[in-house]
Amino acid sequence: MSASFVAQVEELILASYGSMYRLAYSYVKNQDDAMDIVQESAYKAIKAAASLRKPNHLKTWLWRIVINTALDFMRRQQTEISCDAPPEPAAEDHYADFDTLEALDALDERERTVIILRFFEDRKIREIADILHQSPNTIKSTLYRSLKKLKIKITEGELMYEG
């Protein structure tokens, strides 16, 4: 592994730090845990950079590391996740709609990941498919099914507020 490739990995981590944090936070809903996940993911990425077979897939590889690290963390916890106050929203924080964040809890891990990557991180279907190692058609099916679940969950919430 060349030093320039390691520098490229480090540069991508620094450029993606905010997005990595938001993705981790969407899983654990705790600032400190999300920071731990990002730091562990950065460590894993730098340590395993030599194992990356296709350097042009660096971004999707990094997202996969963050997702897997978050899921591993959640499995280790096996306790109810506390809902700490979310971080101060940045100027363009796409995660500021707390009703939507709450509705994401109605989705399973894969569905939540697809929704977050597509709408919160503005990833293309093809890129999500690469990150999750699935076909674009599978991602589309998951996306549409997840959107239906979210619509039902959000509509239920609106009816509760009206009544």
Number of H helices, E strands in the chain: 7, 0
* Whether residue 137 is found in the same domain as residue 72: no
35 falls within a domain: yes
Q: Do both 132 and 111 map to the same domain?
A: yes
pLDDT band at 103 (very low <50, low <70, confident <90, very high): confident
Q: CATH number, domain at 108?
A: 1.10.10.10
Indicate whether 137 pLDDT > 90.
yes
Residue 139 lies in a domain: yes
pTM over 0.75: no
Whether 114 and 72 map to the same domain: the answer is no
The per-residue pLDDT for 100 is 64
pLDDT-derived band at 53 (thresholds 50, 70, 90) equals: confident
Number of domains forming the structure of the chain? 2
Range of the domain at 32: 1-85
- Is a pLDDT exceeding 80 seen at residue 15? yes
Last residue of a domain, one of 52, 85, 118: 85
